[in-house]
């Protein structure tokens, strides 16, 4: 059975598109939030915009993201994950492709509890010179 498209038109608000992009971005591995200064955060609290997220729909869907990423994760991999997640979410929700997607990483953020504890000194503790003294090549 084939499904024929129904003629007509649908309208998606900018706020709905912003919610789709924001949800896909924040759900991606390694993203800790959107970047933005104090003025941008104040604008977001008032409800006039989303800091770190700009969407234009003039000639196709153009998205620009300013993100903060968790310290210790590969930034390029996070950017690939965000790119894939946002493009998939927009395609699935709207049935349209993203014409341009720019991702800027504006900072790294340390997650609470993410810093490893300092090594304990003792007879079994590994010292910084142990690997070099073992004759192992380190690149």
Would you say residue 61 lies in a domain?
yes
Can you list the positions of beta strands (E) in the chain?
A: 31-34, 53-56, 61-70, 98-109
pLDDT tens digit sequence for 52-82: 899 999 889 999 999 999 998 999 999 999 9
pLDDT tens digit sequence for 66-123: 999 999 899 999 999 999 999 999 999 998 999 999 999 988 888 665 555 555 566 6
Segment (H or E) for 40: helix 38-46
Q: What is the CATH number of the domain that holds 70?
A: 3.30.70.1350
Name all contacts of 36-40 with Cβ < 8 Å and 24+ positions apart.
36/66
Would you say residue 24 lies in a domain?
yes
For position 84, what pLDDT does the model report?
96
Would you say residue 79 lies in a domain?
yes
Residue 55 Cα to chain centre, angstroms = 15
Would you say residue 20 lies in a domain?
yes
Domain that holds residue 24: 14-111
**Which of these, 37, 104, 112, lies nearest to 75 by C-alpha position?**
104
Name all contacts of 8-13 with Cβ < 8 Å and 24+ positions apart.
12/94
Lowest-pLDDT range of 18-22, 25-29, 33-37, 106-110: 33-37
d(CA 110, CA 79): 18
Would you say residue 76 lies in a domain?
yes
Would you say residue 1 lies in a domain?
no
For position 139, what pLDDT does the model report?
40
Scan for tokens 């993201």, then name that residue: 65
Write down the pTM of the prediction.
0.69
d(CA 63, CA 87): 10
How many domains, the chain? Answer: 1
Helix axes 14-26, 75-94, angle to 10 degrees: 140
Would you say residue 58 lies in a domain?
yes
pLDDT band (50, 70, 90) for residue 14:
confident
User: What does R_g of the chain's alpha carbons equal in angstroms?
Assistant: 22
Would you say residue 95 lies in a domain?
yes
* Residues with Cβ within 8 Å of residue 136, at least 6 apart in sequence: none
């Amino acid at each position: 059975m084939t499904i024929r498209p129904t003629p007509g038109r649908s309208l998606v608000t900018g706020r709905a598109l912003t919610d789709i992009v924001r949800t896909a971005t924040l759900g991606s591995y390694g993203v800790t939030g959107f970047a933005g200064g104090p003025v941008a955060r104040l604008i977001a609290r008032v409800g006039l915009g989303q800091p770190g997220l700009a969407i234009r729909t003039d000639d196709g869907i153009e998205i620009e993201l300013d993100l903060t990423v968790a310290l210790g994760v590969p930034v390029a991999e996070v950017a690939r994950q965000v790119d894939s997640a946002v493009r998939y979410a927009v395609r699935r929700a709207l049935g349209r492709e993203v014409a341009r997607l720019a991702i800027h990483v504006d900072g790294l953020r340390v997650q609470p509890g993410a810093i490893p504890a300092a090594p304990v000194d003792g007879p079994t503790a590994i010292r910084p010179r142990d690997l070099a003294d073992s004759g192992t090549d380190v690149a």
